[in-house]
Amino acid sequence: MYVAGKWREGKAVIKVFNPYDGSVVDTVPSADKEDVELAIQSAQRGAEIFQEMPYFRRSELIEKTADLLEQRLEEVAVTVTRENGKTINESRQELRRSVMTLRCAAEESQRIYGETLPLSAINVPNIENKFGFFFRVPCGVVLAITPFNAPVIQACHKAASALAAGNSIILKPASDTPLSTLKLVEIFLDAGLPEESINCLTGSGSELGEWLCTDKRIRAITFTGSYDVGNRICRLAGLKKLTMELGGNCPVIVMPDAEAEQVANALVPAGYGLAGQACISVQRVFVHSSLYEDVLNLSTQRLSAFILGDPMDEKTTMGPLIRESAAIRVENTINQAGVSGARILCGGKRENNFITPAIVADVKPDMKIYRQELFGPAVGFLPFETFDEAVAGANDTPYGLSAGIFTNDINTAMQFIRKVKTGNIMVNSPSRWRVDHMPSGGLKDSGLGKEGPRYAIEELTEGRTAIFHLRDRSFF
């Protein structure tokens, strides 16, 4: 791990397993409280250095990191696949997006604007002699806790935005996938990042999180992961800036004027890519009864072309889930739906960490696949008759991360945008669509704040207001 300007071993180690065959990929240190203290002290010194760095220099360092990551893309992609289990093609796609995210953050680091304040808009005594402006400053030390399912892109979103804003960063990667994040830290350092502006601690999230989140020297926390962990972080953190990108249970509505083939072609990659392990994966599809069986049949046909197997094989289209316990949970959820009356049209069979991709028809609101975030390769389908019925179903969840609708009627689309309570809204696309410079984040139990470099920089800076009390009249 990288702590206080040095690559360090720990007093103990944890193993990193390959989800495909269970082999040990490598080991990483298990950080303790002493390591945490060293990291925070180092990050404080790093924050002092980085906040004094000119915007253009921050931009150059992040841009150089993007160049080096692009050069080493294949090496890092192989690491992602070995520790995460996603296919090599999915890992390459993640790394290409990571490069774009870094370049976007490099640009946005030059656009941290303030504003002058029209103080004389209000008639108070002597206001003509006042001049004010508002500007943004770094928070200081930022803690970033990243998930297993997109280890590099999430670390890039958080680290690049924090550094672009002039902060230092402490990275805590998921214990399942620390190796690719450590490679990213190495690339940041090779690009010339000041040694103490970045730290990376590996080990138990529950232990390290308790020590890190409660420490008042950490001024902002950005987290991507489950609602339960995010809720715990918020309770521990106290008065800090918080960005929480939490779970989802994403709905898609298919109106009667949609084209069934277009819908099926879009739903399959959106529901089953990354083995369904994405917070914006499609989970519930409400299809008008006139198209219901057509969409089910076409989606089943598309899934038949999926190839499960070694994620390093170029022909594989779906790899394993991150661990066997996750696969067992998904299998049980699918089986529970079947026992409760749903039709399992295909898939749902488990072998070790693999689940064959499943289509579950005639889902009911009391089933787990409807109520809980699945995070696996299965999608539930429900027929509906009226638009209001479908909207009520889409909103029937504590989550509000992303949603989609298929329709050719602009009025229906606008009503969907207005009525469905979610942070990201897609028209003629499923929920799982994102470009990395857009504002992205959820409502309700899906989180707080936005990602996307421009918007993350706002989350990871603090505003100051300055007022000049002049002897003479201000020109403004």
Give me the CATH topology for the region 2-246+446-465: Aldehyde Dehydrogenase; Chain A, domain 1 (3.40.605)
pLDDT tens per residue, range 164-214: 999 999 999 999 999 999 999 999 999 999 999 999 999 999 899 999 999
CA dist 133 and 180 (Å) reads 42
Beta bridge partners of 170: 143, 199
Q: Tell me the per-residue pLDDT of 28-77, one tens digit each, with 9 for 90 and over.
A: 999 999 999 999 999 999 999 999 999 999 999 999 999 999 999 999 99
CATH number of 250-427: 3.40.309.10
Buried b vs exposed e over 239-248: b needs ≥16 C-beta within 10 Å? ebbbbbbbbb
Instruction: Determine contact, residues 267/251, Cβ cutoff 8 Å.
Output: no
What integer is the mean pLDDT of 98-123?
96
- Asked if residue 380 lies in contact with residue 284, where contact means CB atoms within 8 angstroms, the answer is yes
Residue 115 annotated in active site: no
pLDDT at 125: 92
pLDDT of residue 474: 82
pLDDT digits (tens, 9 = 90+) for 355-371: 999 999 999 999 999 99
Q: What is the pLDDT of residue 475?
A: 78
Question: Can you point out the beta strands (E) in 65-200?
Answer: 115-117, 130-138, 141-145, 168-172, 198-200
Q: Give percent of the chain with pLDDT exceeding 70.
A: 100
Query: Which tens digits make up the pLDDT trace of 3-15?
Result: 999 999 999 999 9
Q: What is the pLDDT of residues 373-399, one digit of tens each?
A: 999 999 999 999 999 999 999 999 999
Q: What is the average pLDDT across 241-253? A: 97
Mean pLDDT of the chain: 97
Which part of the chain has CATH 3.40.605.10?
2-246+446-465
Q: How confident is the model at residue 476 (pLDDT cuts 50, 70, 90)?
A: confident
- Of 84, 107, 256, 89, the closest CA to residue 176 belongs to 84
Q: Is the pLDDT of residue 85 over 90?
A: yes
The Cα 473–Cα 476 span in angstroms is 9
Q: Is 245 a catalytic residue?
A: yes
Separation between Cα atoms, residue 77 and residue 86, nearest integer Å: 10
Res 11: pLDDT: 94
Q: What is the pLDDT of residues 42-51, one digit of tens each?
A: 999 999 999 9
Pairing of strands 130-138, 115-117: antiparallel
Q: Exactly one of 279, 331, 346, 458 is catalytic; which is it?
A: 279
What is the dihedral angle through the alpha carbons of 256, 262, 265, 270, rounded to the nearest 10 degrees? Answer: -70
Catalytic residue, from 83, 108, 196, 245: name it: 245
What's the pLDDT tens digit per position in 424-473?
A: 999 999 999 999 999 999 999 999 999 999 999 999 999 999 999 999 98
CATH 3.40.309.10 domain span(s) along the chain:
250-427
